[in-house]
Every structure is written in C-alpha cells, then in structure tokens.
C-alpha cells in the first residue's frame, strides 16, 4: 500500500509542476523517438534495437539492486564503451538517415518541366512491357536530382538516345551488357552494365515466394542511397516493379507503370519543408505480396 501511495505522490508532484513548456519538451522527445522507430521499421536494425533495449532494461534492473555492488560497478564502468559501440553497430542506418536529411535540404529544381521526360517515360514503359512478355530481366535506373557518377563509372558508357529498341537490345539474354543496370539521365541512356549497391535492410527476406533476387536487392540498394526511380523486370516471372526511396510497388502492368512514372515527373509539386523532411527520414516499404 505504501508503494502505491508513493507512486501517487510522485505523479502528483510531476503534474503540479507541468506547464506548457514541459508539454512541448515532452512532445519533442516523443517525436524524436517516434521518428527513430519509424526510420528503423522493417529493417534488421529494428531487431538489433529490440536486443539493445532488452539488455539495457535487464542491466537497469540488476544495477538498481544493492545486493550486486560489484556488478553495478562493472556496468557503470563499461557503459561509455557500450555507448561508443552503438554508432558502429548502426553505421549503415545512420549514414542512410544523414543522406536523407541532406537530400531533404536540397532546393527542388523543376525536373518535371522538361518536355523530354514524357518521351523517356514512354520508351521505358514500352520496353518494360515487352521485356515482361519475353521474361527478360531488366534493371533501369532513372536519375533525378542526386548524381550517379560513381555508379556510371562502373559500367560501359553509351550516351545514346533512350529508345525501346535500345533497351530491348541491352537486356537481351547473354549479350555483353545484359547484366547490371542501365542509368538514364533525361533522354540519354548514359551507361549500361552498371554495378548497383545491394540493399542490406533485409526487407526482401520475409517475402515467402522467394522470387526477388539480386536485381530487386540492387534496385532497393540504389533507391536507399539516392532519389533515383528504378524499374525492375523479373527474369523468372516477368513481373514489373518500381522502386523509390526504399519503397517497392510490385506486379504492375504497362498502364500503372506509366501512371507511376508520370506521377514522379508530373506537374504536382513535391512536398516541401517539414513534409519533405518527414518523408526522407521515415521511408516506408510498400509491397504487393504476390509473385514477383
């Protein structure tokens, strides 16, 4: 009973001293933790975070007990080293978040104003539809604001006009350039057979059909480190997917693919200020769980 009375007295003590500044302070702290949890959602880091929180809770309970003075001393002594280890464990996620914040601060140029964009979209949609019918795998990266020079250098420079015939020829099986990705900038197919970074988020691991392989991991990987739009055609099923900022929309037909690409380059203004910052810091994952 005394414990309950003490708890009630503590709560009353807290609420008596609560003012509007305290409410704002608590709200900011809550938003920070909410952003971190949303940012780590559907990643392997969430599993690590659960483990870290469980260990911290267990250590807090044990160190609060006065019957273990030696153990409490050990925990307090090694705690600074544990805090230094956190950035090492979460290094990829921290880098991804900082890159997202950096892109959120960029001035959005009018990438939709160019009259050449519809031509590029039509060529990509036509090629993707034909590749899907033939079940020829493809990985098409469409550059936006972020530069992709480091990935362009890994492939074969082409600098050719984007056409459906060219894309079909590049991704024809067993041709020299069919492995890897093509990178498109404006109306130019800049390079082919480019090496993309593979996603390490583990998002594709829960997919039961196991139909998504290296192409989809590469598409997620480049979308996590840049703002590029990626079109993927599955070699096994012919399914078409679109990937952007770690999000994937699967099982698209030509009409839906064209609508999605035009939405990225259409006249609608992108979110600005806090809305764009929130979208960058908390990218979600969108999947259609059919065959890939």
pLDDT per residue over 109-149, tens digit each? 444 445 568 889 999 999 999 999 999 999 999 998 878 88
Which pLDDT value is given to residue 112?
40
Which has the closest alpha carbon to 292: 250, 231, 243, 246? 250
* Residue 18 placed within a domain: yes
* Residue 109 placed within a domain: no
- Convert the pLDDT of each residue in 158-171 to its tens digit: 999 999 999 999 99
Which pLDDT value is given to residue 132?
94
* Residue 245 placed within a domain: yes
For residues 89 and 130, membership in a common domain is answered with: no
Name the average pLDDT for the chain.
Answer: 77
For the chain, the C-alpha Rg in angstroms (whole number) is: 25
- Convert the pLDDT of each residue in 43-81 to its tens digit: 556 666 677 777 777 877 777 766 777 777 777 787 777
Residue 239 reports pLDDT greater than 70: yes
Which pLDDT value is given to residue 99?
62
Beta strands in 208-287 (DSSP E): 229-233, 240-244, 247-252
pTM above 0.75, yes or no: no
For residues 95 and 128, membership in a common domain is answered with: no
For residues 36 and 95, membership in a common domain is answered with: yes
Which has the closest alpha carbon to 285: 233, 216, 238, 236? 216
Domain boundary among 63, 79, 104: 104
Of residues 52 and 273, more confidence is placed in 52
- Are 260 and 237 spatial neighbours (Cβ–Cβ below 8 Å)? no
- Are 234 and 292 spatial neighbours (Cβ–Cβ below 8 Å)? yes
276 burial type by CB count under 10 A (0-12 exposed, 13-18 middle, 19+ buried): middle
For residues 100 and 126, membership in a common domain is answered with: no
Residues spanned by the domain of 75:
2-104
3-state secondary structure (DSSP) of residue 160: strand
Domain boundary among 69, 104, 139: 104
How far apart CA 256 and CA 7 sit, in angstroms, is 58
* Residue 288 placed within a domain: no
Domain boundary among 74, 104, 134: 104
For residues 130 and 270, membership in a common domain is answered with: yes
Count up the domains in the chain and report the number: 2
Residue 218 reports pLDDT greater than 70: yes
């Amino acid at each position: 009973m005394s414990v309950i009375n003490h708890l009630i007295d503590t709560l009353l003590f807290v609420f008596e001293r609560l003012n509007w500044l305290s409410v704002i302070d608590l709200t900011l702290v809550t938003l920070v933790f909410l952003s971190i949890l949303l940012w780590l959602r559907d990643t392997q880091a969430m599993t690590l975070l659960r483990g870290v929180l469980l260990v911290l809770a267990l250590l807090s309970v044990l160190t609060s007990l006065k019957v273990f003075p030696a153990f409490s001393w050990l925990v307090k002594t090694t705690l600074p080293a544990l805090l230094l280890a956190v950035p090492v464990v979460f290094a990829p996620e921290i880098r991804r978040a900082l890159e997202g914040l950096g892109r959120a601060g960029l001035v959005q140029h009018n990438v939709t104003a160019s009259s050449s964009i519809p031509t590029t979209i039509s060529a990509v949609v036509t090629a993707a539809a034909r590749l899907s019918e033939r079940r020829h795998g493809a990985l098409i990266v469409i550059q936006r604001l972020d530069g992709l020079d480091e990935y362009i250098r890994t492939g074969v420079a082409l600098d050719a006009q984007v056409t459906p015939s060219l894309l079909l020829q590049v991704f024809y099986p067993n041709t020299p350039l069919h492995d890897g990705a093509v990178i498109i900038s404006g109306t130019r197919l800049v390079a082919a057979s480019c090496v993309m970074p593979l996603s390490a988020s583990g998002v594709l691991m829960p997919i039961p059909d196991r139909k998504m392989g290296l192409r989809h991991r590469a598409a997620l990987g480049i979308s996590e480190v840049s703002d590029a739009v990626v079109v993927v055609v599955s070699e096994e099923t012919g399914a078409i997917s679109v990937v952007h900022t770690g999000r994937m929309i699967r099982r698209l037909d030509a009409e839906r693919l064209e609508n999605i690409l035009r939405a990225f380059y259409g006249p609608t203004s992108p979110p600005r200020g806090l809305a764009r910052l929130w979208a960058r810091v908390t990218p979600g994952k969108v999947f259609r769980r059919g065959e890939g």
